[in-house]
């Protein structure tokens, strides 16, 4: 990473605290938030690396980051951020103080762990797996080195580096490039070895291997080479753990043996079932010793092997895909065994760093072994009985022409620059960069390539932030259709584009269409990942928002309240997503006329955000603004005024005097000055805000017109009714032109003007104006 230990201008690296897995792990400080973190860095993706491998590594990394960041459970390592810096992919995680289970065994001279500790670890890991499997995620590399025990006894699963979404099998197969699932030989399930379908029960088998080792000090198959270990997993029924350690409770022994069943259907149904068996066993009369006088149970019948036709017996020569696996004793450090030699991307992701000399062709990278269909590519040989081929070519065809690696890398760098501009709020520049990258990627990679579509997606995202919803809608429509064609209707990326399309429809006031689309996306997300997945809850949150805009307030409140409860349960009461939904609950409560409840919600959200994010964080200030609004509405104008003054100061520091949120806070300040009867002060403040808004936003912007109206209100209160009337008349004319004569805001402005005419002693003119406002325009539907 060069001489500097500061990356992304934010993360200060201090010392290496681990090597292996995907590379190095550093103890670090997040200087933006002042918290200690761990930063995992992959091997630098230098120009000597095969470009196809670099692309695979980047894609796997992005998938790990997205999957890991979506997981919110006490038994899962929290992922805060990810990115790429000077060619190094990095992942920012919570800093865990403790040791992984491999280190615990090594520190204990490979002696088994105490029974009580063993059962507690099994219980916590089962709980975490029940959550991840419920999200449709399979870990696929569960082993002692990937399970941490913290100093307080908490157990956490780490490193979802080769996790995959259960609903996304085809895309992951494309990334893996081979039917042989990655994993560590001592802990691989028989179906992983055979290249068959893998689901949550593969993780249960790996957990059985881990528990076996923790309980006995040795894995179920502690053999001399990797091929012998894999054959053991496939064909041999391991001796029960109690044959090594008689003190193990009977229920635990039976549980581990069931986990190690060769056929997935013979294992526990899921991690929830596993945990129930653990809890039931612990509650028994003597969970840590055999019952006196009870005879030992009869030997277990042999379990039938998985029907995959690998060469019989460990004496047979290992196939090419197994030759690169480390043999000999199990790993006791974080490094772990080496991956299959045919998969150099896995070498980068799952083992210690290696480099290839410039010009070296890594084995198996001449051409992909499989297509999306999973059938053998020309020139490859499939293992007998497996569903996908190993990637060693027998007569390799000419490799398809690939774009220049340097050009692909340059485009990736420009894409990251565009993302960085967006994070800085410089959306005009971000949109221009992403549009340019999208055009170049389309030419170099193809119009339907995932990277091209990702760039188009970011164009749409920037357009939405630039308040150009019509343009954003057009872009998201194209991206959603292309992703549906390439990835499938229910692919997460397709659903993300459709959800952004619904958001754009809402911004355009097309709330019925937005509602229908949100409902469709929500149904798809519930099918794919379940009702409690973060993406599902985000869609339901948006649905609640849209229901409120449709005037279906009771439905909106119920939906938002349910989402807030689910997020509090899954993510925690202070999680940003939980607080965002609580703020929506407060908004709907306010519209339902339940002002005191709305105020309490806004106050709670503001306090929680101040504690977690800081007093001047934009989200904290947004909740404080709403708190001030409801204080004023409930007649507590003096308190509201104090809140508004603090907001103006904070917004000025953050955005400057002309920032839109600064002016919004100043407008609220003027309103509350009026509520306190300080109309001269209110008039002066309203005039200043109006002048700035007219200069910054334009004369016809809704916020500018709102400030003009507030100026007129203050003039009226000061008995300057003619001046007030002229302003109300100008506001009504502008709203008629922009919104139409029947729009509620236009009618309200006409009513304001009529009130001024009444106060000026001109009731006939006032009546004529009100009559005109009440008469539907020609062609409008009557009530």
Cβ(371)–Cβ(388) below 8 Å: no
Rounded Cα distance, 84 and 63, in Å: 14
Q: Give me the catalytic one of 50, 55, 141, 250.
A: 141
Rounded Cα distance, 479 and 387, in Å: 32
Tokens 């965002």: give the residue: 580
Query: Cβ contacts of residue 370 below 8 Å, gap of 6+?
Result: 173, 174, 177, 178, 179, 376, 377, 380, 388, 389, 391
Q: For this structure, is 532 an active site residue?
A: no
Going by the DSSP 8-state scheme, the letter that residue 380 receives in this structure is: B
Q: How many helices (H) and strands (E) does the chain have?
A: 29, 11
How far is the CA of 769 from the CAs of 414, 533, 729, 772, in angstroms?
58, 54, 11, 5
Rounded Cα distance, 572 and 565, in Å: 9
Cβ(731)–Cβ(751) below 8 Å: no
Q: Could you tell me which residues are beta bridge partners of residue 82?
A: 91
3-state SS, one letter per residue, for 460-508: HHHHHHCCCHHHHHHHHHHHHHHHHHHCCCCCHHHHHHHHHHHHHHHHC
Tokens 């403040």: give the residue: 685
Q: Could you tell me which residues are beta bridge partners of residue 336?
A: none
Rounded Cα distance, 557 and 545, in Å: 9
Name the nearest CA neighbour of 485 among 459, 449, 509.
449
Name the nearest CA neighbour of 408 among 41, 43, 45, 7.
45
Determine if residue 148 is left, alpha or beta; phi over 0 gives left, psi from -120 to 50 gives alpha, anything else beta. beta
How far is the CA of 670 from the CAs of 622, 641, 656, 677, in angstroms?
18, 9, 18, 11
- The packing angle between helices 450-465 and 405-423, to 10°, is 20
Q: Is 543 helix (H, G, I), strand (E, B) or coil?
A: helix
Rounded Cα distance, 484 and 150, in Å: 43
Cβ(252)–Cβ(243) below 8 Å: no
> SS3 breakdown of the chain: % helix, strand, coil, rounded to 5?
55, 10, 35
Name the nearest CA neighbour of 171 among 539, 455, 528.
528
Token output for 662: 């600064």
Q: Looking at the annotation, which residues are catalytic? A: 141
């Amino acid at each position: 990473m060069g001489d500097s230990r500061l990356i992304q201008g934010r993360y200060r690296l201090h010392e290496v605290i681990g090597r292996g897995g995907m590379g190095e792990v550093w103890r670090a400080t997040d200087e933006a938030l002042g918290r200690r973190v761990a930063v995992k860095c992959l091997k630098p993706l230098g120009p000597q690396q095969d470009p196809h491998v670099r692309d695979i590594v980047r894609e796997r990394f992005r998938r790990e980051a997205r999957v890991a960041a979506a997981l919110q459970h006490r038994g899962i390592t929290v992922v805060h951020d990810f990115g790429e810096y000077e060619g190094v992919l990095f992942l920012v995680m919570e800093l865990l103080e403790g040791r992984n289970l491999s280190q615990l065994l090594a520190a204990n001279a490979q002696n088994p762990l105490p029974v009580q500790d063993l059962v507690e670890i099994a219980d916590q890991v089962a709980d975490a797996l029940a959550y991840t499997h419920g999200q449709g995620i399979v870990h696929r590399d569960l082993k002692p080195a990937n399970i941490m025990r913290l100093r307080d006894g908490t157990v956490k699963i780490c490193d979802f580096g080769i996790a995959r979404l259960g609903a996304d099998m085809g895309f992951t197969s494309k990334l893996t490039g081979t039917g042989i699932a990655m994993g560590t030989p001592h802990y691989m399930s028989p179906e992983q070895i055979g290249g068959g379908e893998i689901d949550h029960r593969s993780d249960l088998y790996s957990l059985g291997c881990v528990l076996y080792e923790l309980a006995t000090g040795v894995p179920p198959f502690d053999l001399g080479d990797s091929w012998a270990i894999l054959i053991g997993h496939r064909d041999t029924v391991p001796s029960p753990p109690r044959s090594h350690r008689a003190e193990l409770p009977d229920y635990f022994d039976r549980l581990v043996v069931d986990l190690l069943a060769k056929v997935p259907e013979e294992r526990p149904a899921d991690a929830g079932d596993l945990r129930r068996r653990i809890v039931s066993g612990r509650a028994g009369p003597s969970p840590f010793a055999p019952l006196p006088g009870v005879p030992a149970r009869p030997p277990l019948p042999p379990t039938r092997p998985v029907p995959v036709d690998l060469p019989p017996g460990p004496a047979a020569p290992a196939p090419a895909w197994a030759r690169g696996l480390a043999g000999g004793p199990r790993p006791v450090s974080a490094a772990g065994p080496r991956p299959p030699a045919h998969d150099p991307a896995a070498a980068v992701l799952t083992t210690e760093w290696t480099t290839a000399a410039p010009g070296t062709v890594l084995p198996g990278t001449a051409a992909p072994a499989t297509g999306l269909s999973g059938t053998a590519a020309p020139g490859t040989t499939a293992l007998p009985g497996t569903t996908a081929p190993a990637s060693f070519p027998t007569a390799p065809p000419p490799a398809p022409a690939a774009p220049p690696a340097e050009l692909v890398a340059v485009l990736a760098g420009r894409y990251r620059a565009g993302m960085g501009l967006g994070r800085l709020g410089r959306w005009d520049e971000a949109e221009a960069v992403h549009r340019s990258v999208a055009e170049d990627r389309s030419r170099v990679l193809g119009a339907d390539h995932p990277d091209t579509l990702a760039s188009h997606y970011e164009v749409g995202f920037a357009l939405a932030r630039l308040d150009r919803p019509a343009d954003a809608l057009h872009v998201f429509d194209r991206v959603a259709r292309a992703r549906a064609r390439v990835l499938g209707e229910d692919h997460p990326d397709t659903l993300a584009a459709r959800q952004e399309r619904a958001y754009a429809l809402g911004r355009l006031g097309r709330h019925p269409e937005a509602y229908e689309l949100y409902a469709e996306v929500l149904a798809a997300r519930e099918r794919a990942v379940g009702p409690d997945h973060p993406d599902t809850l985000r869609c339901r949150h948006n649905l609640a928002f849209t229901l409120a805009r449709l005037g279906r307030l009771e439905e909106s409140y119920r939906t938002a309240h349910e989402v807030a409860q689910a997020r509090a349960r899954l993510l925690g009461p202070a999680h940003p997503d939980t607080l965002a939904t609580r703020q929506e609950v407060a908004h709907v409560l306010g519209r339902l006329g339940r002002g005191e409840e709305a105020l309490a919600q806004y106050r709670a959200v503001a306090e929680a955000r101040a504690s977690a994010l800081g007093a001047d964080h934009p989200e904290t200030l947004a909740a404080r603004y709403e708190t001030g609004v409801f204080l004023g509405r409930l007649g507590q104008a003096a308190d509201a005024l104090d809140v508004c003054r603090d907001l103006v100061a904070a917004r000025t520091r953050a955005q400057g005097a002309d920032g839109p949120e600064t002016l919004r806070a100043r407008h609220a300040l003027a309103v509350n000055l009026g509520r306190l009867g300080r109309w001269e002060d209110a008039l002066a403040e309203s005039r200043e805000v109006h002048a700035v808004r007219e200069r910054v936003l334009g004369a016809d912007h809704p916020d500018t017109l709102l400030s003009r109206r507030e100026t007129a209100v203050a003039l009226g209160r000061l008995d300057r009714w003619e001046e007030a009337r002229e302003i109300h008349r100008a506001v009504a004319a502008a709203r008629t032109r922009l919104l139409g004569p029947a729009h509620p805001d236009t009618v309200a402005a006409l009513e304001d003007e009529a009130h001024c005419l009444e106060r000026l002693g001109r009731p006939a003119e006032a009546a004529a104006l009100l009559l005109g406002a009440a008469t539907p325009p020609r062609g409008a539907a009557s009530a």
